[in-house]
Amino acid sequence: MKFIIKILKWGFFATILVLIVLIGSIFYFTSGLSELSDAKLEFHGTHDTIPFRLSNSGHILIDVGSGKEKKTYPFILDSGASNVVFERFEDDFDLNDNGYTPSFGSSGNFFWSEIKEVDQLEIGNLKLTDLNFQVTSINNQCPDAYGIIGIGVMRHMVWQIDFEKQVLIVTKELSDQKISSSDLQFDLEQNSYGHQLHIPVRISHKSKDIEVSVDLGNSGHLSLNENLIIRDSLILRSKTIFGEGSHGLGEQSKTVAQEKIYLLDTLKFSNTSFEVNNFPTSSRKGDLNLLGLGFFKKFKTTISWKDDKLILSPKDSIDFMDKMFGVHVKFDSQHESAYISTLIEDSPAQKIGIELGQKLVAVNGLIIKSNIDFCRAQSLLYNNNIVELRIIDKDTSKQYKLKSAYLFKGK
């Protein structure tokens, strides 16, 4: 009997110890999230106009000043992520260690990342001090940004994004922004820890609400967990994406994509009368639900964390269907050559006979011999509607003329 009591006592103390460690861990890592969301801001006047440009991958790029020399670095503006410095550029900044935090990538992958503090940064006339960044890897062979300016900065100001003029109008208060009576206003829900913004949508008139994140860092229109489409028994037109999957924050290994592009008949914004038709969404099982830049760039977009508001200035006609080649390429550094890594079903690339794994020799006469050549070639693929490709297929050189087109018929 004494032996049993002794075991119970040890079990009790072990349970208490586990609870203490668990509670301490939760406190430690939630404090890390809090640090990533905070910054000291110095901002004079009512508004600032900050120019931006779009990267080859379609992301918003802004110049961020750092150091005594006020050297500027391009950063991605992202309403759905924490502040990030990409690991390969960590030495370009004067960073101080400040702990660790758990993180999730765009495909739901879990990883740990360091938190590091920078003394001061400048974005236009906005000065930021005691700002924390995650340091994490990104598998991008042609990086055009040093990191991400995310929620830790954005939530303290009101941001209006004018895609036609390519400028950001930044203010302290929503009342300092120019808002028209005809603009569409939506209520947002804000996560109390990470301060991510969410909005409820429906992917058909009969479906249930789906909470999607307002994510300027996702260059697509909409990303959905495919289980939601299966749950609602929707019969939709779709195209399969074959080949290697894309890589997000914290992802290192190659994965085979089991992804589709669905064409939604209707995307309806819950609790409003606003809806859009013929709306494309990328989807695979396990994906996070993200409303991306492909949607927001069709409007003048205003986002306010303080007011939990999304405001869209509509155009006379909005078409969410974009032309595409339907092919993506990667560079094999070991063999110093590019190859076809991703192909979309029934896309222009597949229709003219391009296949996965084929060696890409040249784009518009630019021969690919190095990673620098590859990045230039990739830029040509991003920024042209017609390209000429030279491809090696079974030791035979073939020339292709590739024209972008709509993926779904009826356009």
Backbone angles phi, psi at 389, to 5 degrees: -115, 140
Residue 119, classified by CB atoms within 10 Å of its CB into exposed (0-12), middle (13-18) or buried (19+), is middle
Q: How far apart are CA 333 and CA 91, in angstroms?
A: 23
Which 8-state DSSP code applies to residue 208?
P
> Which tokens hold the place of 393?
């297929």
Question: What pLDDT, in 10s, does the model give residues 291-341?
Answer: 999 999 999 999 999 999 999 998 877 889 999 999 999 999 898 999 999
- The CA distances from residue 220 to 22, 145, 224, 279, 310, in Å, are 38, 18, 11, 11, 18
| 10, containing H or E segment | helix 2-37
Residue ranges of domains in the chain: 194-300, 327-403
Fold designation for 194-300: Cathepsin D, subunit A; domain 1 (2.40.70)
Residue 319, classified by CB atoms within 10 Å of its CB into exposed (0-12), middle (13-18) or buried (19+), is exposed
For residue 167, the one-letter residue type is V
pLDDT at 9: 58
Q: How far apart are CA 381 and CA 398, in angstroms?
A: 18
Model's pTM, two decimal places?
Answer: 0.84
Beta-strand pair 189-190/197-202: antiparallel
Beta-strand pair 126-136/84-86: parallel
> Which tokens hold the place of 67?
């150091």
Q: Which residue has the higher pLDDT, 203 or 194?
A: 203
Question: What pLDDT, in 10s, does the model give residues 215-239?
Answer: 999 999 999 999 998 888 788 999 9
Q: Which residue has the higher pLDDT, 44 or 382?
A: 382
Could you tell me which CATH class the domain 327-403 is placed in? Answer: mainly beta
